[in-house]
Structures are given as C-alpha cells and as structure tokens.
A and B are shown apart, each in its own frame.
Chain A
Amino acid sequence: DQQVKQNSPSLSVQEGRISILNCDYTNSMFDYFLWYKKYPAEGPTFLISISSIKDKNEDGRFTVFLNKSAKHLSLHIVPSQPGDSAVYFCAAKANQAGTALIFGKGTTLSVSS
C-alpha cells in the first residue's frame, strides 16, 4: 500500500504562472517531508523540505505547505519557469533511526513559454 501518493502524474503550466504539486501521505509517523526534482538522465536533487512542526517553508520561488490534519502537502512554484520542467518527487520520513525515505511516484511538470 502506497504511503506517499502523488495522484497527478503530470501538470502543464504556462511560464510566469503558479505551479502547485500535491502529495498525500497515510503514515502518521512521518515527521519530515522533502521534495526532489529530477531531470531526465540525472539523479534527483533535493529541492526543499519541511518538518512536521511547521506548516510552511519558503525558499525563493519554492514554498511547501503542510496540512497535518489532512495528511497533505503541496509545493508551490511562483513564478514558474521553463527550466522548472522536470519530474518532482515527494518524499517522507518517519522519526526512526534506520528508516529510509518513502517516495511518491512523481509528477511531471511541463512549463511552456
């Protein structure tokens, strides 16, 4: 059973507009959430993260929102740029030593100019 779900396989946005990528989780033991970005033929790169004690974290054009009661997080990219076109993975980790990140299936974002 998937513990981290990204229900939208793809998203298309125009340059300059907002991109919103969504992620849902089921495990209430998760206390840290990350977003990774992946270009084709490259490894994923860390983008932004949020701890469960916060509900928002911002880094430049990227903001992650966490709604613990709904077990939902979202990544906002404003303004979107063509270089943001990539696959975005949501990941979560439980506060337990020896556990790995659990990744969602990813959302492919396409930003058109």
Chain B
Amino acid sequence: DVKVTQSSRYLVKRTGEKVFLECVQDMDHENMFWYRQDPGLGLRLIYFSYDVKMKEKGDIPEGYSVSREKKERFSLILESASTNQTSMYLCASSISSTSRTQYFGPGTRLLVL
C-alpha cells in the first residue's frame, strides 16, 4: 500500500517567515509533485521532480522553491511567506515518468497571517 506522508496537517505562519513543507513516500517512487488547492481553482502544480536533485517548474512556481536530496523526500519551501500563499498544499508521487497514477498525501493546510 502506497503511503505518502506530509509533515504537518495544519500550519500557521506569519508573513515573511520561511516555511518548509516536507513530504515523504515509502514506495521508492521516482516522481514527486507539489500542488496547491484553492476553491474554484482546482489543483495547480507548483513543482515536480522526476529524480533526485532534479526539479521542474509547474504552472505556478513563483514564490516557491523545492529540494529533493533523497529519493523518498521532496520539500517545498516558501522563502518569504505571503498571505496569498494561504492554501491547502498537496504532495503526490508516482512510480516513474511513464506512470500515470499519482498517489497523494493528506495535505497541509497553511494559513499565513
């Protein structure tokens, strides 16, 4: 059974703080993804990674960076949090670049004050 875990379910941060969201998958998946979900906007891809130390920008990378030092871990970094980054953040993984099915973590609801 695939398991994708996210370090926090809820986070409250202040504007300007540096925020780290961690995601770990235990199935040796090559690909990992970060999305944010906002009402009426669906799931929007921020960044994804198809290998260790590799990253690709998604649709909305501005204000975010990522780190993938180990295969099982993919971190999303908000360098200087802003109120418009208040959102639900979802991490996902898939077996390989040709795999179609993604498995999602439970999400982190981030509130930036």
Q: Is the CB of A101 within 8 A of B102?
A: yes
Which A residues contact B (CB, under 8 angstroms)? 6, 9, 32, 34, 36, 41-46, 49, 89, 93, 97-106
Question: Provided the pairs A44-B90, A103-B43 are in contact, do residues A93 and B50 lie with their beta carbons within 8 angstroms?
Answer: no
Q: Closest CB of chain B to A109's CB: distance in Å?
A: 15
Which B residues contact A (CB, under 8 angstroms)? 4, 9, 33, 35, 40-45, 48, 50, 56, 58, 90, 92, 97-98, 100-107, 109
Q: Is the CB of A46 within 8 A of B103?
A: yes
Bound Cα distance from A94 to B45, whole angstroms: 15
Q: Within the complex, which residue of A32, A43, A100 is in contact with B106, where a contact is CB–CB below 8 Å?
A: A43
Q: Is the CB of B90 within 8 A of A100?
A: no
Q: Is the CB of B42 within 8 A of A43?
A: no
Give the 10 A-B CB pairs with smallest separation, nearest first: A43-B104, A105-B42, A103-B43, A97-B97, A32-B100, A44-B104, A43-B106, A106-B42, A43-B105, A100-B48
Q: Can you name the residue of chain B whose Cβ is closest to the Cβ of A32?
A: B100
Q: Within the complex, which residue of B4, B41, B45, B58 is in contact with A43, where a contact is CB–CB below 8 Å?
A: B4
Q: Can you name the residue of chain B whose Cβ is closest to the Cβ of A42?
A: B106
A-B contacts, 14 listed (Cβ < 8 Å): A32-B100, A43-B90, A44-B43, A44-B90, A45-B104, A49-B100, A49-B101, A97-B97, A98-B97, A102-B45, A104-B42, A105-B40, A105-B42, A106-B42
Q: Closest CB of chain B to A31's CB: distance in Å?
A: 9
Q: Closest CB of chain B to A34's CB: distance in Å?
A: 7
Bound Cα distance from A98 to B90, whole angstroms: 19
Q: Can you name the residue of chain A whose Cβ is closest to the Cβ of B51?
A: A98
Q: Is the CB of A105 within 8 A of B41?
A: yes
